[in-house]
Structure 1
Amino acid sequence: MCHKTVQDSSPVDFYIGICGEKSTIGKPIETLKSGIMGNLAGTEYDSFGNDSKTGNLLNDIMDIDSNFDLKISSVSCSASLRKKDSTEEKDFVQGIEKFIDAMQGQIYTAMFIAEPISNNELSQQQNGYQQMYTNLSKFEKVSLQYQEGESVSIMESTTEGLSQSLTDTLGYSNTQAKFASNSNTSSRATSESSSANIGFLGMGVSTSISQSITNSNSRTTGQSNSNSQSTSKATSNSTSSSDTKGQTITTNSGKTLQLETLNRPVKDLLNNIDLQIEKLERGRTYGLFKYGAYFLSSEEDTAILAANTYKALMIGDNSTKETTAINIWKETEQVNLLKEYLIRGRHPIFTNDTHGLLYDATILVDGLTLPVHMSLPFKSVVGLPVLEHVRFGRNNQSISSKENEINLGNLYHMGSEDTTQPIVFDKESLTSHMLVTGSTGSGKSNALYQILNELNRQKIPFLVVEPAKGEYKNIFGNKEGVNVFGTNIRKSPLLKINPFKFPDDIHVLEHIDKLIEILNVCWPMYAAMPAILKDAVIRAYESKGWDLNYSVNKYSTPIYPMFSDVLQQIYNVMNTSEYAEEQKSNYIGALATRVKSLTNGINGQIFTNREIDSEVLFDQNTIIDLSRVTSSETKSLIMGILVMRLQEYRISQGGMNKPLQHVTILEEAHHLLKRTSTEQSTEGANVIGKSVEMLSQSIAEMRTYGEGFIIVDQSPNMLDMSAIRNTNTKIILRLPDVSDRDLCGKSANLDDEQITELARLSTGVATVYQNNWLEPILCKINKVQSDDNIYDYTPPELNNRVIDTVIDSTEVLKMLSERNYSSIDEWNNAIVSMLQINHLDLKLQDLVVNSVIKRSLKTSQDNLLYQNWLKYIKEQGRAI
């Protein structure tokens, strides 16, 4: 491994190579690459392979400054780790980045070469050390011992004895003998004898029998008898005495002196041999290498400085056990010879002319210590950024068929994208809703573009409500089958929706309650303001012919109130109330001002009876751009009304536990689902908090109708907790704020290290988690390619708008002629209500009035009634 700087302020270039036999070099290179990626996943590098580029690269590494002679220094030292408690910093302080920082501004090349030692050579060295240890161990210690002793013994003995003996003896003997012989010279003789002795102290008996047979030619017979008797008596007396007495006295006295001499040079040598043997034992497991560090520079001072700096960095607590050496070569001939070795990644070999020995400037290093010598920087340096990554899950746990998959991107592990591991999830999981969060520029919009592309591929319609930026229409607005509505008629078709309209299956009182809750979210209200507003809305419905009990309208074509009707009813409610004049004034000022703001300007154009069909908004691909609305209250109101109308539309369609039918994306969702305090105030209940809770619950319950919500916001801390809690899938991009990370990280089952990692995520990298997954994973979201074309929209000409208005007036007249009017006031009220459908400016109001007049001549039977109505309607038209 080597690194090089080519000028004073240039970044450091790092090179890692491997040497081997030419026939097998390919496989070691692949092993090296695998080792780097296995241990330093996410490392980015350029591979030079085996071609001629490698040779040119090595020559370039050696060629530092052709204008000066090269100087080479080397360091032979064994690295030793320093104890953390002995350093000021409690982190690793021996990283090579310290060396690089110290050499900043110097031009040099540093080469670190490690050659492996074979097992046979390792065994030979180990046997040599063991034999040397055995031979030296006898000289380690010498012991001398001196001892003196003294003993004294004294003994006396006396013996006395008495003995007496008496003996009587009686003896008796009888002998008989018979014999015979004949002529055949046969003879036989038998002899028997016996004796008995009886004494005073004992008795003895003996018998002897003998027989002899002789055959001869003569016969002889004979007999003899013999008897004998003897008696003896003896008496003996003996007297003796013995007296023995003994005494022993022993006295010992001694001195011992022991002397031990330790041969310290031998002991130190044995300790060093022990360390070498331990290193060789570790080498059997972790490998053993001949290691040397070489520094090349055109300046001798730079080469020496690099060698000493590197040595100072490597030495540690146990470095004193081995010899450390620094060498310098500056002669041209020597340098050229050394370069031939170094350019091939080999240690230079030297010889001793006197003894002919070969040696090199290396030291034995085991595999545990080698990484300290040849480490890559632990911290970023100029030319090599170092990033820390936390491990996430690596298994995509989604089980779904190919046609139901939503492809988000690829697995991202330790800073590197794994294109072989796509990250997918089942589209049906969107019915349990999704949260997408991340700071500005983290890739949040691109993630949503990718999801929309996948939904479009699977023919799932979507609704995007975008309160900021307005980029969705540029990405998808020009595609076929995508509707775009906004708030600026010159940039897109105008969004038109009536907050007071609802489907037939919805009861009017249900709709009123929901509408009031939405207004509570958008407007700060206190005390009796919500009740007064609700009373005014109810009266507005009643004024349009609604029976609140049965939720029916008295007209064949139901007429719905507008905010102008509510404004009028606010005055009526307060005029009939019993509040004090000051309170009436306060309430009218607070409520009437807000409601009136919805009857003019851009709000007056949006909130109209001539609305866009619900099928277009909620069953087709639709983008609603609210980015040009400056008031956050208005944005919240429009978003809330859209969610309310969507829920009512889905309820009217019916069904239960449907598969995914439609997806709604709420950008900047804090406008609608804002975090509020749960505490009650002295002015009344926590109206905003209750209203947000109602909206969140409505969103959560829409899953049964096949509606999926994607809630998007830059800061999860601004969202109501229910919006985070009720989402099954979470896509979390970079979050710099610690409170955002903690809140969102805990909800996605992240540990503390992973939560901290959220602040360091690269653009387009997100943490993805679903509630049924074992662990969160990192995903590199696919980059959505766009043509960067601005949404193409041509606003209609004024003449076309006039024609549309005339056509609209025909529709108005048709609605007016469906019933009979009993008085001019009733007719006037109907005309005024119809004019409010479009909220036209004064010129267009005149056109509508004239158009209706012309078409009403056939139906007007009373000319006086017609003249009075004409005068009244013109005044009313200009007053609206």
Structure 2
Amino acid sequence: MPNNATSTGTSHRAARRPQPSAGNGGGSPLPTGGKRTIQPMATPDSKQQKKAKKLLMDAHQLNVLQNDLRIVGVYVNSRHLEMLSPAGKDCLYTSVVDKLDPLQCNRTGIAVYQITKLMYNEEENSYEKLVSVYSALNSFGGVTALILQSDGNSVRLYLCTNTSGNSRIAGELLSGNLKGHFPGCEITQLSEPEKNTLLNSCGPKGSFPAGRTVRSLSMIPSRREEELQKDRELSAQGCEKFIDAMNGHKYTLVILSQCVSPDAMDDCREGLENLYTCLSPYAKETVSYGENQSDTVNYSISSNINYSVGRSISRSFGTSHTASISNGRSYNRGSGYGMFNMHFNSGSGTSSSTSSSTGTNQGYSTGESTSEAMGSGDSQGTGSSVGSNSSLTINRDNKAVQNLLSKLEEHIKRINMSQTFGMWNSCCYLITDDVATANMGTSTLAALLAGDSQAAPRAYCNQWDATNVAEREKVLEYLEYLHHPVIDLAILEETTDASGNRTRSVFQKEKVTPAMMISGKEIPTLMALPRKSVPGIVVDSMAEFGRNIPEKWKKKVKHPILFGNVYHMGQEEKTQTFLDLDTFASHTFICGASGSGKSNTTYNLLEKMIENKIPFLIIEPAKGEYKIEFAGLPNVNIFTADESPYRLLQMNPFEFSSGIHIREHLDQVLQVVSACWPLYGAMPGLLKRAFEQVYIDHGWDLEHSERIVEKGSRFPTFQDLVPVLERIIDHSPYSAQTKGDYKGALLNRISSLCNGFEGQIFGCSSGIPDRTLFNENTIVDLSSIGSDETRSLIMGILIIKLRNFRKTASTQPNSKLIHVTVLEEAHNILKRCSQETNVESGNVQGAAVGSLCRCIAEMRSAGEGFLIIDQSPGAVDPTAIKNTAIKIVMRLPAKDDCQEVGASLSLKEKQIRELSRLDVGVAAIFHAGWTDTLLAKMGDIWDQRYRAKAAPVLNKGVFTKVQGAVVQLMYHNLLEGQAKSIYMDVQELLNILCKESSALKPTLPRSKQQEMLDEVQIYLENNQQFIRANSFKDLQRTFLDFVFDFLRLDSVMRIFPLEGVNKKFDLMDTKLTPKETRIVLRWEKDIRSGICRYLYMPEECEPQKAYRWPLNPTDSEYFWMLYGKMLKRYATKMMLRKDGDARYANALDYLNSIKFFQPSAHKGKR
């Protein structure tokens, strides 16, 4: 560049030489009055101005300045970036892609990671997190690349690193930072074959369309001020916008970013500062012109007169030019290309320079001097002076230079601000199968990256296509190894001589790349990740939950059980989550939609209980999964409501423990019924009176809670309650219509409990022993019951029986966990009821449910823990949820459910919304003593470890034979007076029939064997007073009732009613008419055929060898004797009914009169 030139204003001052007079020897003539007047000398303005103009730049210097400014403008405005594609004939530049150095054709330093899922935190700035990720890579060095590849249907996203060292360290840095800033993202490293396949798709080798095009996009991305101010979560400049816009097109987008070292940044800043210094004088031009004129008149008589004129003009001009060229070869992995003292790393291994020197210097000098002197010894003077002064200053701004300075200042500012986060040399390369797709892609990308920054006002595109295959192949080779292509760029100068001939010469030559310097704060805009899902990439967001269990809590816990691992932002971590086993005594609430992993979680918690020898009771009203999953657990008791290979559930709501007062139990039963049935008006009162009366009818003293009279069975049943309730309603003071309404509402419900499965469950006076239900591992499956009310009733009865059992067995308060009860589908019994009351009935159901919740809460002190499980927390009474110390919440799709349980977990609004999106097996857990709610994933997938190897099979024929053998043995012992040995004898019998080599095939399931033993034991326990008193007559009477219940023969008797016989009993006349006798004989035949289907006893009670069953059941040893007594017992029960039905008694009298039940009467008959 030429030396600086300045223009300055000029000023001239001159004095006229005086002429000596002839009278005083050439001295000055004396004016009149002793004064002399001297006239001012004329000023040579034109001559001085001409000399001053020589100080300004001439035309040659201005031309040189303009050329220099043009070059500066090219590089400051990055105009050289549009000169990289092959030049046309009319272009004033040439560009040739250098061949890639063989030493750079190496993939050992490349690591490639595919991103299939991204997880964002709505409360964090994902842009700033990307800044941190890329900043970490920048400090490590090398190249970072983002590759977006589309097959037209879906896209694949890759992040790559290319370093000169080991790719493992850089790859782990990339994946570690990405997972750390975006926890929950799914990022996997490609294997070597997968990596090579991807990189080869970016290279020149292979079968590709002939129109394959590479188009580069060079620009400085920036964010838009409007979005920055509004801080939008989803940016209009997001990567997903490009993916959606290019949907259906095949392309590969490669964004390369090579880190710029701190030294290179300093060199670049210094070069820009030098440019700024050189250009700044030309930004503003000042022209100043000044003129000063002065006239002086002096009269002096002096011995000396001096007059002098001095004048001197000098001028100098110098020009110098220097250039250098040196050629050398270096095999370093990096080298530098630069301009204006700015250096850029490009990864090349060559360098060259040219040097020349030219100098010119000129000088010119002129001088002139004149002097005269006269002297006199006497002096007197008078003087006067007149002067004038004028000046003119003109300022002129060079806008082009000022714009350049402004851009230089912006670049310098960007470099200064990038000292912390680093800078990158970045460029986008789009590889497509045709030119149109390439143009569309780069235009879309340029529009998305454009922002409000002044550093680079436009984007620059270069294209290498089929018109110059050699250049395109060289560019693809660079991209294959993740390097920016290096291009020899020569800027030409065109001159025209006097004859009009044009010649071109190289004015500036540089090695450049398409990359531009991007700051660390700008790089996330260029290498952005999708903010919402696109085909092939899942994008999600999550709210953060707690991640640690308080250390103070850990130290206090004595019996921790492992639940699983902490789940953070969609990803399972290594931090383990523990629960306190003893805290389960304070109850646990588990909720979640179907398929959310609720059952798997419960199974694993039960496994922890088994490991710690904590027995459990599972009450399952639906699905029936527990009896399948735990059927193989040793010594587990499984009770069902239907006829199945498992034991039949039998319970009597009126039965209570010896340590419980009858009135307390009565109130509890009424609460359960009120919670299950909608009661209104006087219904609760009528039921209570009926409950009291039915106990009284069975000999119970309600005040002292003692049975003082042996009337009927020990405890009443629902079958006994029906006539009592009907009688109480009939005697109530209400109107006939009201009585009818009450009968329809109450009697129908109670009568329904005396039939079907419900009749089998509630029909016995004594149910399954409490110790079996509540001290052993037990499963109660109610899935076969269709009525919600009945299921709720059974669940409620089991709860109060459990409460009473724990109350009587507990020895000390606040005991540790000793038993766990699982309430599946808890809303059946702990349903959410309206809090509204009315004058007529109050809120009976709500009060009853609240009482049951308090009952559950009270059992905590007895060591009884409840697992309250339901799909919808909104369907469960809030008190039941509130009284739990552990809450495990899985996916809840309903908003109301999320809000309901979120409040109990003290969750924020975003965390509450997250509950509807939890993955399978992931739960939000809050434990008493924790400060935060944690997300955790159950560690173990249930492996069905307790499933039975083979499902149990119940053969009805074998079951009937074993039942008949047991009945026969018990009857035999009673006849022989051996009641005390009945239980042991039955055990031995079952061993013979079911376990030894002579066992019946197929073998009777163990659960059915145990069911028989339990029923026998219940019979013996309920008749201990008769056994101790050796009252075998009473034992035989109660035994007949046992047989009806044991064989479930009531339904058979109802199938064959006795019609056509006199219902009245007449002691004076018991004879039947011939018609009635025919009816009785026909009825007996039918009833015998029905009973023989279930009463199938062996031929002999004590056989010599193996047990054998006759072809005809009536041929067994005790059939006719037992058969006759059974019918007689049934007839007696019918006589004791309210209507006193004597038909069966009259029929039995007739049959006995003809000695029908003696075995000898039937010998030889079939």
* TM interval, short-chain normalised: 0.7 to 0.9
Query: Does the residue aligned with 2:837 lie in a helix, a strand or coil?
Result: coil
The reply on whether 1:370 has 2:505 as its aligned counterpart is no
**1:501-554 Cα shifts (integer Å, max 9, x gaps):** 111110000000000000001111101000100100110111111111111112
- Paired with 1:627 and 1:726, the residues of 2 have a C-alpha distance of 27
Residue pair 1:821, 1:827 contacting (<8 A) in 2 also: no
Aligned position for 1:202: none
Query: Does the residue aligned with 1:459 lie in a helix, a strand or coil?
Result: coil
The reply on whether 1:71 has 2:280 as its aligned counterpart is no
Which residue of the other structure, out of 1144, 1153, 1159, is the alignment partner of 1:875? Answer: 1144
Aligned position for 2:533: 380
Which residue of the other structure, out of 624, 627, 643, is the alignment partner of 1:470? Answer: 624
- Paired with 1:650 and 1:26, the residues of 2 have a C-alpha distance of 63
**1:76-96 Cα shifts (integer Å, max 9, x gaps):** 011111244699987311111
Residue pair 2:199, 2:480 contacting (<8 A) in 1 also: yes
Aligned position for 1:292: 427
**1:416-459 Cα shifts (integer Å, max 9, x gaps):** 111x2121111111111111111111111111111111111111
- Paired with 1:563 and 1:490, the residues of 2 have a C-alpha distance of 24
**1:267-311 Cα shifts (integer Å, max 9, x gaps):** 322221221112112221011000000011121111221111111
Measured after TM superposition, the shift of residue 30 of structure 1 is 1.3
- Paired with 1:867 and 1:733, the residues of 2 have a C-alpha distance of 56
Measured after TM superposition, the shift of residue 493 of structure 1 is 1.7
Say which structure, 1 or 2, has more relative contact order (CA 8 Å, 6+ apart). Answer: 1
Closer, same or farther: CA 855–517 of 1 in aligned 2, 3 Å: same
The reply on whether 1:333 has 2:466 as its aligned counterpart is no
Unaligned runs of 5+ in 2: 1-144, 293-388, 491-505, 975-1015, 1055-1086, 1096-1113, 1126-1130, 1149-1166
The reply on whether 1:58 has 2:202 as its aligned counterpart is no
Which residue of the other structure, out of 603, 611, 614, is the alignment partner of 2:767? Answer: 611
Aligned position for 1:793: 952
Measured after TM superposition, the shift of residue 626 of structure 1 is 1.1
Query: Does the residue aligned with 1:286 lie in a helix, a strand or coil?
Result: coil
The reply on whether 1:312 has 2:469 as its aligned counterpart is no
Which residue identity is paired with 2:218? S
Aligned position for 2:3: none
Aligned position for 1:597: 752
- Paired with 1:580 and 1:131, the residues of 2 have a C-alpha distance of 112
Aligned position for 2:342: none
Aligned position for 2:568: 413
Measured after TM superposition, the shift of residue 631 of structure 1 is 0.9
**1:825-880 Cα shifts (integer Å, max 9, x gaps):** 9999997799568753344897699989947999xxxxx999999x989938999x
- Paired with 1:290 and 1:563, the residues of 2 have a C-alpha distance of 88
Closer, same or farther: CA 36–534 of 1 in aligned 2, 3 Å: same
Aligned position for 1:638: 794
**1:171-207 Cα shifts (integer Å, max 9, x gaps):** xxxxxxxxxxxxxxxxxxxxxxxxxxxxxxxxxxxxx
- Paired with 2:735 and 2:724, the residues of 1 have a C-alpha distance of 18
Closer, same or farther: CA 5–878 of 1 in aligned 2, 3 Å: farther
**1:747-788 Cα shifts (integer Å, max 9, x gaps):** 011111111111111111111111321111111113111267
- Paired with 1:672 and 1:688, the residues of 2 have a C-alpha distance of 10
Aligned position for 1:399: 554
Measured after TM superposition, the shift of residue 356 of structure 1 is 3.9
- Paired with 1:328 and 1:761, the residues of 2 have a C-alpha distance of 48
Closer, same or farther: CA 783–90 of 1 in aligned 2, 3 Å: closer
The reply on whether 1:508 has 2:777 as its aligned counterpart is no
- Paired with 2:1120 and 2:814, the residues of 1 have a C-alpha distance of 52
- Paired with 2:160 and 2:797, the residues of 1 have a C-alpha distance of 65
Unaligned runs of 5+ in 1: 150-253, 859-863
Residue pair 2:806, 2:862 contacting (<8 A) in 1 also: yes
Residue pair 1:507, 1:551 contacting (<8 A) in 2 also: yes
Measured after TM superposition, the shift of residue 581 of structure 1 is 1.8
- Paired with 1:542 and 1:729, the residues of 2 have a C-alpha distance of 44
Aligned position for 2:734: 579
- Of 779-788 and 329-338, more deviation after overlay is shown by 779-788
Which residue identity is paired with 1:498? N
Q: What's the TM-score, normalizing by structure 1?
A: 0.80
- Paired with 2:1041 and 2:773, the residues of 1 have a C-alpha distance of 28
Which residue of the other structure, out of 160, 173, 176, is the alignment partner of 1:34? Answer: 176
Query: Does the residue aligned with 1:387 lie in a helix, a strand or coil?
Result: strand
Aligned ranges 1:208-357 → 2 under 5 Å? 261-318=396-453, 321-330=456-465, 331-353=468-490, 354=506, 355-357=508-510
Closer, same or farther: CA 69–360 of 1 in aligned 2, 3 Å: same
- Paired with 1:760 and 1:729, the residues of 2 have a C-alpha distance of 21
- Of 282-291 and 551-560, more deviation after overlay is shown by 551-560
Aligned position for 1:702: 859
Closer, same or farther: CA 436–803 of 1 in aligned 2, 3 Å: same
- Paired with 2:571 and 2:760, the residues of 1 have a C-alpha distance of 51
Measured after TM superposition, the shift of residue 333 of structure 1 is 0.7
- Paired with 1:694 and 1:776, the residues of 2 have a C-alpha distance of 30
Which residue of the other structure, out of 932, 949, 963, is the alignment partner of 1:775? Answer: 932
Aligned ranges 1:453-852 → 2 under 5 Å? 453-554=607-708, 559-607=714-762, 608-654=764-810, 655-781=812-938, 782-786=940-944, 792-795=951-954, 797-805=959-967, 835=1044, 840-843=1049-1052
Closer, same or farther: CA 4–65 of 1 in aligned 2, 3 Å: farther
- Paired with 1:560 and 1:259, the residues of 2 have a C-alpha distance of 123
Closer, same or farther: CA 790–322 of 1 in aligned 2, 3 Å: farther
Aligned ranges 1:440-459 → 2 under 5 Å? 440-459=594-613
**What count of residue pairs does the alignment treat as equivalent?**
766
Closer, same or farther: CA 423–110 of 1 in aligned 2, 3 Å: same
Closer, same or farther: CA 820–448 of 1 in aligned 2, 3 Å: closer
- Paired with 1:553 and 1:708, the residues of 2 have a C-alpha distance of 33
Measured after TM superposition, the shift of residue 70 of structure 1 is 2.6
Measured after TM superposition, the shift of residue 260 of structure 1 is 5.3
Which residue identity is paired with 1:270? L
Closer, same or farther: CA 853–21 of 1 in aligned 2, 3 Å: same
Which residue identity is paired with 1:284? Q
Closer, same or farther: CA 554–835 of 1 in aligned 2, 3 Å: farther
Which residue identity is paired with 1:625? D
- RMSD (Å), alpha carbons: 3.8
Aligned position for 1:358: 511
- Of 114-123 and 579-588, more deviation after overlay is shown by 579-588
Closer, same or farther: CA 868–140 of 1 in aligned 2, 3 Å: closer
Closer, same or farther: CA 615–145 of 1 in aligned 2, 3 Å: farther
Which residue identity is paired with 2:167? I
Which residue identity is paired with 2:628? N
Aligned ranges 1:420-435 → 2 under 5 Å? 420-435=574-589
- Paired with 2:579 and 2:691, the residues of 1 have a C-alpha distance of 45
Aligned position for 1:7: 151
**1:3-43 Cα shifts (integer Å, max 9, x gaps):** 4546332x212221101113x33211111111111112122
Query: Does the residue aligned with 2:565 lie in a helix, a strand or coil?
Result: strand
- Of 598-607 and 79-88, more deviation after overlay is shown by 79-88
* Higher Rg of the two aligned structures: 1
Which residue identity is paired with 2:881? I
Query: Does the residue aligned with 1:780 lie in a helix, a strand or coil?
Result: strand
Alignment identity in percent? 32
Which residue identity is paired with 2:535? V
- Paired with 1:274 and 1:789, the residues of 2 have a C-alpha distance of 81
Query: Does the residue aligned with 1:45 lie in a helix, a strand or coil?
Result: strand
- Of 742-751 and 78-87, more deviation after overlay is shown by 78-87
- Paired with 1:469 and 1:857, the residues of 2 have a C-alpha distance of 44
The reply on whether 1:111 has 2:277 as its aligned counterpart is no
Residue pair 2:825, 2:871 contacting (<8 A) in 1 also: yes
- Paired with 2:1133 and 2:644, the residues of 1 have a C-alpha distance of 38
